[in-house]
Amino acid sequence: MKVAKTINEVKMIVNDWKKQGLSIGFVPTMGYLHEGHGSLIIKARENSKVVVSIFVNPMQFGPTEDLDKYPRDLEKDSKYCEELGVDLIFNPEPGEMYPEGFCTSVDISVLSEELCGLSRPVHFKGVCTVVNKLLNIVNPDKAYFGEKDAQQLAIIRRMVKDLSMDVEIVGCPIIREKDGLAKSSRNTYLNSEERKAALALSKSIFAGKGMVKEGCREVDILLKKMKDIIDQEPLARIDYLKAVDAMTMQQVNTIDRPVLIAMAVYIGNVRLIDNFSFIPD
């Protein structure tokens, strides 16, 4: 396994693989890898070669968000990647990705104006810009993203389609802890009391799934039940809890199409997300 720090080095390695007729699977991450990332890497192993990027992207953090505190451990991440059969890690410095004079960004309307985009207004411009750059640098055949970040996945799929980018975007299921909490690098911020409180998210998700499976199609009824579960936890504060069209990310009143039910909840000062999707028969 190689670790590349520069764009030119990645391009040289990938171009050599391409000349050999090898397929490239790509997993973009911000590091501090866990089993959720691991599931993406394992799926990417269906290709001849696997590239993982580890880059905490400053462009997607707002001025009051946790850029400096975001967990980092390149040594641990590298060992994990090597164990999973990764061929190349791309670990650039911010100045490599955004050199002096950098002034281009990729923005997307409509899909970014709800859910996380509403409460984190700069976030998806930063995500789209860095993912666009990474896809151009790595030039993969397939790129893998987790369904936990469902709005991000929908936005990236839209961006790739709108910009006629020659890459297949593959969504992979949410990976959970044994007690149900969705795996996230931000879980490391939680103390023991907060970690227990965070289960309010998955309890609400599982209850909502059950209601929809049993036939509930009224969004107001569904969200009230889910909200009541979260509100029972004193440390929890809801940022949003909404049902949206899975394609457009616009709010719906009835589950009569593919729908995403998504939430962001603060546990203390830690913002966590979770979701589930439903496709009617």
Residue 245 lies in a domain: yes
- Percent of the chain clearing pLDDT 70 (strictly above): 100
Q: What is the pLDDT of residues 230-280, one digit of tens each?
A: 999 999 999 999 999 999 999 999 999 999 999 999 999 999 999 999 998
The dihedral region occupied by 31, where left means phi > 0, alpha psi between -120 and 50, and beta the remainder, is: left
β-bridge partners, 263: 241, 274
Residue 66 confidence (pLDDT) above 90 = no
Question: What does the pLDDT average to over 202-224?
Answer: 98
pLDDT of residue 64: 85
- Residues in contact with 200: Cβ distance below 8 Å, sequence separation at least 6, in sequence order: 229, 230, 232, 233, 236, 265, 267
**Binding site annotation covers 185?**
yes
Residue 271 lies in a domain: yes
Indicate the average pLDDT of the chain: 97
Residues 248 and 140 in one domain: no
Residues 55 and 162 in one domain: yes
Residue 179 lies in a domain: no
The residue from 172, 196, 221 where one domain ends is 172
Question: What does the pLDDT average to over 170-198?
Answer: 97
Which of 14, 27, 28, 37 is labelled catalytic? 37
Residues 41 and 136 in one domain: yes
**Binding site annotation covers 70?**
no
Residue 119 confidence (pLDDT) above 90 = no
**Binding site annotation covers 166?**
no
Query: Rg of the chain over CA atoms, in angstroms?
Result: 19
Residues 136 and 222 in one domain: no
Question: What does the pLDDT average to over 41-64?
Answer: 96
Number of domains in the chain: 2
pLDDT of residue 26: 98
Question: What does the pLDDT average to over 19-31?
Answer: 98
**Binding site annotation covers 149?**
yes
Residues 168 and 195 in one domain: no
Nearest Cα residue to 243 out of 51, 114, 152 = 114
**Binding site annotation covers 97?**
no
Per the annotation, the verdict on 123 as an active-site residue is no
Q: What is the pLDDT of residues 121-152, one digit of tens each?
A: 899 999 999 999 999 999 999 999 999 999 99
Q: What is the 3-state secondary structure (H, E, C) of the chain?
A: CEEECCHHHHHHHHHHHHHCCCCEEEEEECCCCCHHHHHHHHHHCCCCEEEEEECCCHHHCCCCCCCCCCCCCHHHHHHHHHHCCCCEEECCCHHHHCCCCCCCCCCCCCCCCCCHHHHCCCHHHHHHHHHHHHHHHHCCCEEEEEHHHHHHHHHHHHHHHHCCCCCEEEEECCCECCCCCECCHHHHHCCHHHHHHCHHHHHHHHHHHHHHHCCCCEHHHHHHHHHHHHHCCCCEEEEEEEEEECCCCCECCECCCCEEEEEEEEECCEEEEEEEEECCC
CB 249 within 8 Å of CB 154: yes
CB 6 within 8 Å of CB 89: no
| CATH number of the domain encompassing residue 218 | 3.30.1300.10
Residue 177 lies in a domain: no
Residues 133 and 22 in one domain: yes
Q: Are strands 88-90 and 142-146 parallel, antiparallel or unpaired?
A: unpaired
Domain boundaries, position 104: 2-172
Residues 154 and 106 in one domain: yes
